[in-house]
Amino acid sequence: MTVGLNAFLIVAGLLFAIGLLGVLIRKNTLVIYMSLELMLNAVNVALVAFSRYNGTMDGNLFVFFIITVAAAEVAVGLAIIVALFRKRQSVMVDNLNALSR
Amino acid sequence: MADILFYVFAAATLISALLMVLSPNAVNGAIFMIVSFVSTAALFVLLEAYFLAVIQILVYAGAVMVLFLFIIMLLDVERDDGNYLKDKLSLAASIAGFSLVAILIVSAFAGGQHLPETALLPVAENPVGEGAGLEFTTSAKSFGYSLFTKYMLPFQVTGFLLLAAMIGVIVVSKKHEGEVGK
Protein backbone atom coordinates (compact mmCIF):
# COMPACT_ATOMS: atom_id res chain seq x y z
CA MET A 1 0.00 0.00 0.00
CA THR A 2 1.50 3.34 -1.01
CA VAL A 3 -0.98 5.43 0.98
CA GLY A 4 0.98 7.28 3.63
CA LEU A 5 0.39 8.21 7.23
CA ASN A 6 -0.82 11.69 6.33
CA ALA A 7 -3.79 10.38 4.32
CA PHE A 8 -5.02 8.45 7.36
CA LEU A 9 -4.51 11.50 9.58
CA ILE A 10 -6.51 13.68 7.18
CA VAL A 11 -9.35 11.13 7.28
CA ALA A 12 -9.18 11.12 11.09
CA GLY A 13 -9.20 14.93 11.24
CA LEU A 14 -12.19 15.18 8.92
CA LEU A 15 -14.06 12.49 10.86
CA PHE A 16 -13.40 14.40 14.09
CA ALA A 17 -14.64 17.62 12.45
CA ILE A 18 -17.85 15.90 11.31
CA GLY A 19 -18.43 14.63 14.86
CA LEU A 20 -17.84 18.13 16.21
CA LEU A 21 -20.33 19.51 13.67
CA GLY A 22 -22.91 17.01 14.88
CA VAL A 23 -22.39 18.01 18.51
CA LEU A 24 -22.69 21.69 17.61
CA ILE A 25 -25.73 21.76 15.33
CA ARG A 26 -28.01 18.92 16.48
CA LYS A 27 -30.66 19.32 19.16
CA ASN A 28 -31.40 15.64 19.81
CA THR A 29 -29.41 14.33 22.77
CA LEU A 30 -29.12 10.84 21.26
CA VAL A 31 -27.66 12.19 18.00
CA ILE A 32 -25.24 14.38 19.96
CA TYR A 33 -24.16 11.27 21.82
CA MET A 34 -23.62 9.36 18.55
CA SER A 35 -21.51 12.29 17.31
CA LEU A 36 -19.37 11.97 20.43
CA GLU A 37 -18.82 8.30 19.55
CA LEU A 38 -17.82 9.42 16.05
CA MET A 39 -15.15 11.70 17.53
CA LEU A 40 -13.77 8.83 19.64
CA ASN A 41 -13.71 6.73 16.48
CA ALA A 42 -11.72 9.41 14.64
CA VAL A 43 -9.11 9.31 17.38
CA ASN A 44 -9.00 5.50 17.03
CA VAL A 45 -8.20 5.79 13.31
CA ALA A 46 -5.35 8.20 14.03
CA LEU A 47 -3.94 5.99 16.80
CA VAL A 48 -4.00 2.81 14.70
CA ALA A 49 -2.34 4.64 11.81
CA PHE A 50 0.40 5.98 14.10
CA SER A 51 0.88 2.52 15.59
CA ARG A 52 1.20 0.86 12.17
CA TYR A 53 3.59 3.43 10.71
CA ASN A 54 5.67 3.49 13.90
CA GLY A 55 5.97 -0.29 14.23
CA THR A 56 4.91 -0.43 17.89
CA MET A 57 1.90 -1.99 19.57
CA ASP A 58 1.11 0.93 21.93
CA GLY A 59 -1.36 2.72 19.65
CA ASN A 60 -3.32 -0.47 19.14
CA LEU A 61 -3.47 -1.03 22.90
CA PHE A 62 -4.73 2.53 23.41
CA VAL A 63 -7.49 1.89 20.88
CA PHE A 64 -8.36 -1.32 22.74
CA PHE A 65 -8.77 0.65 25.98
CA ILE A 66 -10.69 3.45 24.23
CA ILE A 67 -13.19 0.95 22.82
CA THR A 68 -13.67 -0.57 26.30
CA VAL A 69 -14.17 2.81 27.94
CA ALA A 70 -16.52 3.92 25.14
CA ALA A 71 -18.69 0.84 25.63
CA ALA A 72 -18.96 1.54 29.38
CA GLU A 73 -19.61 5.22 28.67
CA VAL A 74 -22.40 4.44 26.21
CA ALA A 75 -24.15 2.21 28.75
CA VAL A 76 -24.01 4.88 31.48
CA GLY A 77 -24.91 7.75 29.13
CA LEU A 78 -27.93 5.98 27.65
CA ALA A 79 -29.13 5.08 31.15
CA ILE A 80 -28.90 8.78 32.06
CA ILE A 81 -30.79 9.75 28.89
CA VAL A 82 -33.54 7.23 29.67
CA ALA A 83 -33.80 8.56 33.25
CA LEU A 84 -33.95 12.10 31.84
CA PHE A 85 -36.70 11.13 29.41
CA ARG A 86 -38.64 9.52 32.24
CA LYS A 87 -38.56 12.79 34.18
CA ARG A 88 -38.95 15.36 31.39
CA GLN A 89 -40.64 13.46 28.51
CA SER A 90 -38.14 14.97 26.05
CA VAL A 91 -34.57 14.43 24.88
CA MET A 92 -34.26 17.69 22.92
CA VAL A 93 -31.63 19.99 24.43
CA ASP A 94 -33.92 23.02 23.88
CA ASN A 95 -36.34 21.62 26.46
CA LEU A 96 -33.66 20.76 29.02
CA ASN A 97 -33.22 24.26 30.46
CA ALA A 98 -34.42 23.82 34.04
CA LEU A 99 -31.24 25.36 35.44
CA SER A 100 -31.70 28.61 33.50
CA ARG A 101 -35.15 29.40 34.85
CA MET B 1 -5.41 -2.38 -5.14
CA ALA B 2 -5.02 -1.52 -1.44
CA ASP B 3 -4.80 2.15 -2.42
CA ILE B 4 -8.16 2.02 -4.20
CA LEU B 5 -9.65 0.22 -1.19
CA PHE B 6 -8.31 2.94 1.11
CA TYR B 7 -9.96 5.69 -0.92
CA VAL B 8 -13.24 3.75 -1.16
CA PHE B 9 -13.46 3.04 2.55
CA ALA B 10 -12.24 6.49 3.61
CA ALA B 11 -14.95 8.05 1.42
CA ALA B 12 -17.56 5.62 2.80
CA THR B 13 -16.55 6.46 6.38
CA LEU B 14 -16.69 10.21 5.85
CA ILE B 15 -19.86 10.31 3.72
CA SER B 16 -21.86 8.04 6.03
CA ALA B 17 -20.66 10.03 9.06
CA LEU B 18 -21.83 13.23 7.38
CA LEU B 19 -25.18 11.62 6.50
CA MET B 20 -25.53 10.53 10.14
CA VAL B 21 -24.99 14.08 11.34
CA LEU B 22 -27.40 15.55 8.79
CA SER B 23 -30.25 13.02 8.72
CA PRO B 24 -33.38 14.34 10.52
CA ASN B 25 -34.52 10.86 11.52
CA ALA B 26 -32.43 9.43 14.37
CA VAL B 27 -32.99 5.82 13.27
CA ASN B 28 -31.58 6.53 9.80
CA GLY B 29 -28.70 8.28 11.52
CA ALA B 30 -27.93 5.19 13.59
CA ILE B 31 -27.92 3.00 10.46
CA PHE B 32 -25.49 5.40 8.72
CA MET B 33 -23.39 5.28 11.88
CA ILE B 34 -23.13 1.48 11.57
CA VAL B 35 -21.95 1.89 7.95
CA SER B 36 -19.35 4.39 9.16
CA PHE B 37 -18.10 2.02 11.88
CA VAL B 38 -17.85 -0.93 9.49
CA SER B 39 -15.89 1.20 6.99
CA THR B 40 -13.58 2.23 9.82
CA ALA B 41 -13.05 -1.46 10.58
CA ALA B 42 -12.07 -1.89 6.92
CA LEU B 43 -9.53 0.92 7.36
CA PHE B 44 -8.15 -1.01 10.36
CA VAL B 45 -7.80 -4.10 8.14
CA LEU B 46 -5.86 -2.00 5.62
CA LEU B 47 -3.58 -0.97 8.51
CA GLU B 48 -3.16 -4.68 9.34
CA ALA B 49 -4.78 -4.33 12.79
CA TYR B 50 -7.03 -7.34 12.26
CA PHE B 51 -7.84 -7.90 15.93
CA LEU B 52 -9.01 -4.30 16.34
CA ALA B 53 -11.11 -4.56 13.18
CA VAL B 54 -12.97 -7.54 14.63
CA ILE B 55 -13.36 -5.77 18.01
CA GLN B 56 -14.61 -2.65 16.22
CA ILE B 57 -17.35 -4.60 14.44
CA LEU B 58 -18.30 -6.68 17.50
CA VAL B 59 -18.32 -3.89 20.08
CA TYR B 60 -19.07 -0.70 18.14
CA ALA B 61 -21.14 -1.78 15.14
CA GLY B 62 -22.68 -4.61 17.17
CA ALA B 63 -23.23 -3.91 20.85
CA VAL B 64 -23.03 -0.12 21.03
CA MET B 65 -25.17 0.61 17.98
CA VAL B 66 -27.78 -2.01 18.93
CA LEU B 67 -28.02 -0.26 22.31
CA PHE B 68 -28.42 3.09 20.54
CA LEU B 69 -31.08 1.78 18.13
CA PHE B 70 -32.92 0.15 21.02
CA ILE B 71 -33.02 3.39 23.03
CA ILE B 72 -33.95 5.51 19.99
CA MET B 73 -36.87 3.22 19.17
CA LEU B 74 -37.86 2.91 22.85
CA LEU B 75 -38.02 6.66 23.41
CA ASP B 76 -39.67 7.32 20.02
CA VAL B 77 -38.04 10.73 19.65
CA GLU B 78 -39.57 13.30 17.32
CA ARG B 79 -37.97 14.14 13.97
CA ASP B 80 -35.78 17.20 13.68
CA ASP B 81 -36.98 19.72 11.11
CA GLY B 82 -33.70 19.40 9.16
CA ASN B 83 -33.01 23.12 9.38
CA TYR B 84 -30.02 22.96 11.68
CA LEU B 85 -28.43 26.35 11.17
CA LYS B 86 -31.38 28.57 11.99
CA ASP B 87 -29.93 30.01 15.19
CA LYS B 88 -26.87 32.20 14.89
CA LEU B 89 -24.98 30.54 17.74
CA SER B 90 -24.71 27.09 16.17
CA LEU B 91 -23.83 28.64 12.80
CA ALA B 92 -21.01 30.63 14.39
CA ALA B 93 -19.89 27.59 16.40
CA SER B 94 -19.71 25.35 13.33
CA ILE B 95 -17.81 27.96 11.33
CA ALA B 96 -15.35 28.37 14.21
CA GLY B 97 -14.91 24.62 14.61
CA PHE B 98 -14.36 24.02 10.92
CA SER B 99 -11.86 26.85 10.59
CA LEU B 100 -9.91 25.28 13.48
CA VAL B 101 -9.84 21.97 11.61
CA ALA B 102 -8.84 23.76 8.40
CA ILE B 103 -5.95 25.46 10.23
CA LEU B 104 -4.92 22.08 11.66
CA ILE B 105 -4.91 20.36 8.27
CA VAL B 106 -3.13 23.20 6.50
CA SER B 107 -0.46 23.53 9.20
CA ALA B 108 0.07 19.77 9.51
CA PHE B 109 0.16 18.81 5.84
CA ALA B 110 1.24 21.92 3.94
CA GLY B 111 3.93 24.52 4.33
CA GLY B 112 7.47 24.03 5.60
CA GLN B 113 6.87 22.16 8.84
CA HIS B 114 4.61 19.33 7.70
CA LEU B 115 4.76 15.83 9.14
CA PRO B 116 7.30 13.50 7.53
CA GLU B 117 5.81 11.01 5.05
CA THR B 118 7.03 7.73 6.53
CA ALA B 119 7.11 4.52 4.57
CA LEU B 120 5.16 1.44 5.62
CA LEU B 121 7.32 -0.79 7.84
CA PRO B 122 7.42 -4.53 7.19
CA VAL B 123 5.27 -6.42 9.65
CA ALA B 124 5.82 -9.86 11.21
CA GLU B 125 2.94 -12.24 11.73
CA ASN B 126 4.09 -13.34 15.17
CA PRO B 127 6.40 -11.75 17.72
CA VAL B 128 9.85 -13.30 17.32
CA GLY B 129 12.69 -13.33 19.81
CA GLU B 130 13.05 -12.06 23.37
CA GLY B 131 11.71 -8.57 24.05
CA ALA B 132 9.90 -8.38 20.71
CA GLY B 133 6.48 -8.58 22.36
CA LEU B 134 5.76 -4.86 22.14
CA GLU B 135 6.48 -4.59 18.42
CA PHE B 136 3.67 -4.31 15.92
CA THR B 137 2.54 -7.69 14.64
CA THR B 138 -0.67 -8.87 13.06
CA SER B 139 -1.38 -11.55 15.66
CA ALA B 140 -3.63 -11.23 18.72
CA LYS B 141 -0.72 -12.69 20.70
CA SER B 142 0.87 -9.24 20.79
CA PHE B 143 -2.24 -7.85 22.47
CA GLY B 144 -2.12 -10.49 25.18
CA TYR B 145 1.59 -9.97 25.75
CA SER B 146 1.26 -6.17 26.02
CA LEU B 147 -1.86 -6.34 28.19
CA PHE B 148 -0.16 -8.53 30.75
CA THR B 149 3.22 -6.79 30.83
CA LYS B 150 3.43 -3.08 29.99
CA TYR B 151 -0.29 -2.33 30.31
CA MET B 152 -1.12 -4.45 33.36
CA LEU B 153 -2.28 -1.55 35.55
CA PRO B 154 -4.53 0.09 32.89
CA PHE B 155 -5.97 -3.35 32.20
CA GLN B 156 -6.97 -3.81 35.85
CA VAL B 157 -8.26 -0.24 36.11
CA THR B 158 -10.42 -0.83 33.01
CA GLY B 159 -11.89 -3.90 34.70
CA PHE B 160 -12.86 -1.81 37.71
CA LEU B 161 -14.24 0.87 35.39
CA LEU B 162 -16.53 -1.69 33.75
CA LEU B 163 -17.71 -2.83 37.19
CA ALA B 164 -18.35 0.78 38.25
CA ALA B 165 -20.24 1.45 35.01
CA MET B 166 -22.40 -1.64 35.53
CA ILE B 167 -23.31 -0.67 39.11
CA GLY B 168 -23.86 2.94 38.02
CA VAL B 169 -26.28 1.91 35.27
CA ILE B 170 -28.27 -0.22 37.72
CA VAL B 171 -28.47 2.65 40.22
CA VAL B 172 -29.41 5.26 37.59
CA SER B 173 -32.12 3.17 35.95
CA LYS B 174 -33.68 2.00 39.24
CA LYS B 175 -37.06 3.52 40.06
CA HIS B 176 -36.87 5.57 43.25
CA GLU B 177 -39.39 5.11 46.07
CA GLY B 178 -41.29 8.32 45.46
CA GLU B 179 -41.60 7.70 41.72
CA VAL B 180 -43.57 4.47 41.79
CA GLY B 181 -46.78 4.70 39.87
CA LYS B 182 -45.96 8.04 38.23
Domains of chain A: 5-94 (1.10.287.3510)
Q: Which residues belong to CATH 1.20.120.1200 in chain B?
A: 1-78
Report the C-alpha gap between A29 and B166 in whole angstroms.
22
Q: B69-82: string of b/e by CB count within 10 Å (b at 16+)?
A: bebbeebebeebee
- Fold for domain B1-78? Four Helix Bundle (Hemerythrin (Met), subunit A) (1.20.120)
A95 touching chain B per CB within 8 A: no
Digit-by-digit pLDDT tens for chain B (182 residues) are 788 999 999 999 999 999 999 888 889 999 999 999 999 999 999 998 899 999 999 999 889 999 999 999 988 777 777 677 777 887 888 888 888 888 877 777 776 566 666 667 777 777 666 566 677 888 888 888 888 888 999 999 999 999 999 999 999 888 776 665 54
Of B44, B64, B80, which is closest to A48 when you measure between CB atoms? B44
Model-level pTM?
0.88
B48 touching chain A per CB within 8 A: yes
Q: Note whether ipTM > 0.90 here.
A: yes
Please tell me which residue of chain B has the smallest CA distance to A36.
Answer: B21
Residue B52 with chain A: CB contacts under 8 Å: 44, 48, 60, 63-64, 67
